[in-house]
Structures are given as C-alpha cells and as structure tokens.
Amino acid sequence: MDQRTPSPPLYEALVARLTALVDDDVLRPGMRAPSVRAFATQHHVSLTTALQAYRLLEDRGVLEARPKSGFYVTQRSHRQRALPAASQPPRRANPVAVSNPLFSVLSYAGDPSYAPLGCAIPSAGLLAAERLDRQLARCARVHGRQYNIYADPHGDAELRAQISARALRLGHAVPPDGVLITNGCTEALNIALSVTAKPGDTVAIESPTYFGLLQVLEARGLRALELPTDPARGIDVAALDKALGARRVAACLLASSFNNPLGTRTDDASKAAIIRVLARHGVPLIEDDIYGDISSGDERPRPFAAIAPKADIILCSSFSKTIAPGYRIGWLAANRRHDEILASKFALSLSGAALPQKAMADFLKSGGYDAHLRRIRKAFADNIDRMRRTVDRSFPRETRMTDPKGGFVLWLELPAGFDSDALYRRAIRERICFVPGGLFTATSGYRNCLRLSCSHDWDARIERSVERLGELAHELLA
C-alpha cells in the first residue's frame, strides 16, 4: 500500500478492529480468526472488503492463512515482545566524543541506494509540503525585495504569533515575544545550552539519547550525565533527584515526548514530578519537543512548559519532523533570559532566512496544518506497527523492542554481548543502513542495541531489509 494515497476508512477500521482483538489477547496466538464470511456479515461489509482486510493482516504477520482451514492468529505476536530494560548508565558525568563514528553512518543514511532504516528523516511523500512550497514561491515572487533584509533576529513576527497561538492550545502561554526562530531545533538547543551552561559544565540527559544532541554537547565542551531511563515511563525521578544532589548540574535536557531513540511517553504527573525535582535543585530544564506533534493518538502530549508555565524551562522545537526538514525552521520559547538568548542568536547566525519564515507563517495562517498532522500521525503509527511485526517475525526471539506511542523510531535490544557494530558492518555491505546503539550514549553502553527508522513509506524493500537484518542477527548470535 502506498502511504501517499489515504486508505479507505472502512478498510482501515476493520484491520484496526481485528488487530485490537489480537493485541488485547481476545484472539490469542494459534486461535482461529472468524471466517471472512462471518466477519463480513458481522461488520456489514462486502466479502471483498473483509478479504482485503484479512490479506493485509496476513501481510503484516498478524494472521496466517492455512489452506482449506481459514485464517489463524500467528504464533508469535509482537505484543509478546518485552520492552528493553530500563537503562542503568554509570553515575559519573562523561566527556562526549561521538563525531567520528557518526560520519560513516550519516553518509550511508543519506544515500538513497541504502535501505533507509538509518536517519530519522520523514519521506517527502508523507510530508506533502507542496502547499508550503507554493507559499514560498508566492513569497519570493511577491515579497522578495521587501524581505531581502537581515530579518529581526527574533524571526518573522507573524510566524512567532502563529507558534504562540499553537502553544496556547496546549495550555502553554508564551507570548510571540518569548518565541525566537532558529535554524532548526539544533540551533535552538545550542542557544538554550549557551545561556545555561558553560564549557566544562555537566548537562543531565536521558540514556540512551539522540546522537545529534550528544554532538552538540561535544562541540560545546559539555559533559553528559546520563540518567536511568525506562522505555515506558521515562527518566527515573528518584535517580534524577539523587544525581542532582550529588553534583553541580548546569541544565537538564529532556525530550518532551517520544524521545529518540526510545519513543517514551512520560505522563503528566511524572513530568510535574521531574519539574519539582529540578526546581528544588535550581536546575533549568531544556526540553526538546521535536517529536511531540507526532503522537499516534489524536491527543498530543503536553510539553513540560505547558504543565509548569512558571518553571525555568526553555522549549526547543522545529517543523523538521512534521512538514519541512528542508526549510530548517525551528524555534525556542522561553519565559526568561531573553537578552542572553537574543545575543546568542546574533552571535551564532545573526538572523534566519526571511522568505522561508514568511512562507511558513502564511502556510500556518492559511490552515490545514492540523489535518496534515492527523494524516502523518496515522501514517507513522502504521509504519511503526509494520516495523514491529516484521521485527517480531524476523529477529531472534530474545530481541526486546520498544512500543512507541509516537515519533517514528524503534529501539531494539538484543542479548548482552550482541555486537550491533558487527551487524552494521554486514548490513552496510548489503546496502541496508540503520544506526547501531553505541552512538546513543557517551558511555560504552548499548553495543547490543540498534535503532530502526520507521519514517519512510513502507514498501517491499524496507520489509525485506528488516527481515534480512533479522537473519543477520540470528547468524551473529549463533
């Protein structure tokens, strides 16, 4: 199925209903599924439609067809997979050095001749940014001369107003003047770190964490204190409290939701508890909300800043994961340190490109972004689902994996001693790219882990590549 053409809702509803029965263990592995005819009658659909749904469930490995007998729930369900264990990184702060190994991965990850399980880059087809591009074309034609200026270092005023209005819908009251437009979320993180930490300082982060973030810490000469993190609940609040009591920490940098690579959704109560601990120790929070909009449900989790509007929080985000990685438009929202933040932006890049900001403002103003978000949430959730089922039937049975409720990456944990670098080297030879686990930490951990990106339109090549990774993992474990 091509994700670019939306599926008929009826058809999807049937697949979802049957999948839910399996996931909820109403239909258990080995059980016979209702006959296609009975299912069609029960749901008032044609036989053809019911059969289509069953065939798709078979493709996904939820059901298997047994000749002359009907459809059965496959023996191994992805629900049986355990989550990876909560991390237990060493308690010391570490200098960071991830740049070198990263380059090889990034070069393969950007090469279309490799199966795209490496970088967390959404498919252009899923993003459907044609309307935004048309706004840019119009802006360039109509406003070119007017916008050929060093823009206000804060960024386009209308764009900041639009971002402020969207934040308010999540209960996050940040005035347009509290928003600063940046060159992507990476520049926002640089600015946030520059106003809270100086070289040599320690920053507390989740473990495992996004390698790009580690590289920012490395470039800024900061030390990483990695926090024990549970794939389901997020960082361990008691461990955070203890860690902050034991040493001086300049800032704590956490993903708002659906962190990379674990995809964790931390609930509001835990978020509130984390903020209380940080406040008690006087440590500012930098939150990376870049995946927050990609919730698999319709309800979008609230960022920390919405839960505690008065807390010392700098929120960083961007449009790169939802509509326009190529536009490099991110932002930062803070309720204090405005002068330092502006000075930092000025010193880093003076101001952002004017026309892309104007185009983004016009695009948001014209509406339709929310409908787009609903569409991609479904698409990414479906990709994750397919990826999990494919991993489930292909990888060694000891493989644990995350069950992310948002974002578009999956984290796999193989038995201790498994060498994901070795898997990587073999996979690259077969033109399959993924990111080995060692890149997600400043310690020597996660060598038995790996990250798979589910951000591309699912197709036979991706499915075959995941299956092949599973075969290679079997060989390496043998």
Residues that bind a copy of itself (CB under 8 A): 99-100, 102-103, 106, 110, 119, 121, 124-125, 127, 129-130, 132-134, 136-138, 140-141, 144-153, 183-184, 186-187, 190, 194, 198-199, 212, 215-216, 218-221, 320, 324-328, 339, 342-344, 346-356, 359
Q: How far is the CB of 108 from a copy of itself (least distance, A)?
A: 13
Q: Cα–chain-centroid distance for residue 83?
A: 17
Number of residues that this document lists for the chain: 478
Closest separation in Å from C-beta 181 to a copy of itself: 12
If we measure between CA atoms, which residue out of 251, 250, 255 comes closest to residue 210?
Answer: 255
In the complex with a copy of itself, which residue's Cβ is closer, 319 or 395?
A: 319
Q: Which is nearer to a copy of itself, 10 or 342 (CB)?
A: 342
First to last CA, the chain: 35
Q: Shortest approach of a copy of itself to residue 197 CB, angstroms?
A: 12
Nearest distance from C-beta of residue 371 to a copy of itself, angstroms:
18
Question: Nearest distance from residue 186's CB to a copy of itself, in Å?
Answer: 5
Nearer to a copy of itself, 218 or 385 (CB): 218
How far is Cα 67 from Cα 54, in angstroms, rounded to an integer? 14
Q: Which is nearer to a copy of itself, 150 or 397 (CB)?
A: 150
- Nearest alpha-carbon partner for 376 in 317, 300, 466: 300
- Of 186 and 260, the one with the shorter C-beta distance to a copy of itself is 186
Residue 257, CB-side half-sphere exposure with 13 Å CA sphere:
25
Nearer to a copy of itself, 161 or 342 (CB): 342
Q: How far is the CB of 382 from a copy of itself (least distance, A)?
A: 21
Closest CB to a copy of itself among residues 199, 417? 199
The distance of closest approach from Cβ of residue 147 to a copy of itself in the complex, given in angstroms and rounded to an integer, is 5
145: exposed, middle or buried (Cβ count in 10 Å: 0-12, 13-18, 19+): exposed
Among candidate residues 392, 414, 402, the one with its CA nearest the CA of residue 60: 392
Helix (H, G, I), strand (E, B) or coil at 68: coil
Minimum CB separation of residue 106 from a copy of itself in Å reads 8
Tell me the torsion sign for CA atoms 463, 464, 468, 471.
Answer: positive
Please say which residue, 194 or 270, places its beta carbon nearer to a copy of itself.
194
Structure tokens at 378: 């479904």
**Residue 440 to residue 259: CA distance in whole angstroms:** 12
Residue 208: asked if its preceding bond is cis (omega within 30°), the reply is yes
- Tokens representing 272 are 């509130």
Minimum distance from residue 110 beta carbon to a copy of itself (Å): 7
Whole-angstrom distance, CA of residue 398 vs CA of residue 81: 8
Region for 253 from its dihedrals, namely left if φ exceeds 0, alpha if ψ lies in -120 to 50, beta otherwise: beta
- Specify the residue, 202 or 266, whose C-beta has the smaller distance to a copy of itself: 202
202 SS3 class: strand
Phi, psi of 34 (to 5 degrees): -55, 150
User: What strand order describes the sheet that includes 179-183?
Assistant: 94-95, 223-227, 202-206, 251-255, 285-288, 313-318, 329-334, 179-183
Tell me how far, at minimum, the Cβ of 194 lies from a copy of itself, in Å: 7
Instruction: Give the residue with the Cβ less far from a copy of itself, 20 or 219.
Output: 219
